[in-house]
Amino acid sequence: MAERMQFEYNVDGGNFTRAGYASSEIKKILKKLNVDLAVIKRTVVASYEGEVNIVAHAYSGTIYVDIDTERIRIRLQDEGPGIPDIDKAMEEGFSTASSQVREMGFGAGMGLPNMKKNTDRMEITSEVGKGTTVEIEIVLK
Amino acid sequence: MKVTDIVKALDLKVFSGEGGLDRDVSGGYVSDLLSDVMGNADTGQVWLTLQTHKNVMAIASLKDLAAVILVGGHKPDENTAMQSNEEDIPVLGTNLPAFDICGKLYELIYNT
């Protein structure tokens, strides 16, 4: 494979019919690259949760994917309300999702913990009123 | 065991995704919280839920699940059925509540 590949996907806030599209594309690419199945599974869980977070909470966002022979890096960057307390947001079961989003079965407060569990590195930076960026990294063996 | 074996044995309705009826079933998972399924379900499992919207199919596809069973007489949304057909992941249905169909499915998968 090429030394390094980069892709980006736009995500619309509030558009649940398209939620998962970017993660599905990422999965297809990783399969084509013959990435280890266990790595694909972890990557897909993390990217889907991040994608849904943009749809559920932000106005719009972009998912940047950067793959080389050593690791997969995904940066999920959104314009949105931001996260006032990141430690709180990381707590399992804590969610600020709307009741409408919860009725769909989202907003259980498991998204960010799922991302953390399935990645080798995760970093959240956020500015209230501006937006949030979540960077995740998965090491390829 | 194939999806089609479960359909026959448990008298399930096939709403969509007929192309995937020969998928192998490795087990089952029941939850209505999508992140729970995303985090904990495994490849080849049948997912029992009362959620009917299209995101169910996004998760079923990303997790390579064998099929979805809608419990308690629920029916898939139109775009859910459409994506089920595109992905060849069957959406099945039963009038039984989750507990009852889980019991029957467990018996079928593990004790026959």
Domain extent listing, chain B: 3-111
Paired with A79 in beta bridges are A60, A131
Number of compact structural domains in chain A: 1
Q: Which residues of chain B have pLDDT under 50?
A: none
Quickly count helices (H) and strands (E) in chain B. Answer: 5, 5
Among B32, B54, B62, the residue with its CB nearest the CB of A48 is: B62
DSSP-H helix ranges across chain A: 21-32, 37-57, 86-90, 99-103, 111-117
Among A24, A105, A110, the residue with its CB nearest the CB of B62 is: A24
Chain A residues with CB within 8 Å of chain B CB? 16-17, 19-21, 23-24, 27, 41, 44-45, 48-49, 52, 104-106, 108, 110-111, 114, 117-118
How confident is the model over B22-47, as pLDDT tens digits? 999 999 999 999 999 999 999 999 99
Residues 6+ apart with CB under 8 A from A74: A26, A43, A46, A47, A50, A63, A64, A65, A66, A135, A136, A137
How confident is the model over A54-68, as pLDDT tens digits? 999 999 999 999 999
Q: How confident is the model at residue A84 (pLDDT cuts 50, 70, 90)?
A: very high
CATH number for the domain harbouring residue A90: 3.30.565.10
Homologous superfamily (CATH) of B3-111 is HprK N-terminal domain-like (3.40.1390.20)
- Name the residue of chain B whose CA is nearest to A116's CA: B39
pLDDT at position A35, please?
Answer: 96
Task: Tell me how far apart the alpha carbons of residues A23 and A29 are, in angstroms, rounded to a whole number.
Answer: 10
**Residue span of the structural domain in which A17 resides:** 4-139
pLDDT at position A1, please?
Answer: 56
pLDDT at position B112, please?
Answer: 78
- Name the residue of chain B whose CA is nearest to A117's CA: B39
Residue B12 burial (C-beta neighbours within 10 Å; 0-12, 13-18, 19+): buried
ipTM: 0.92
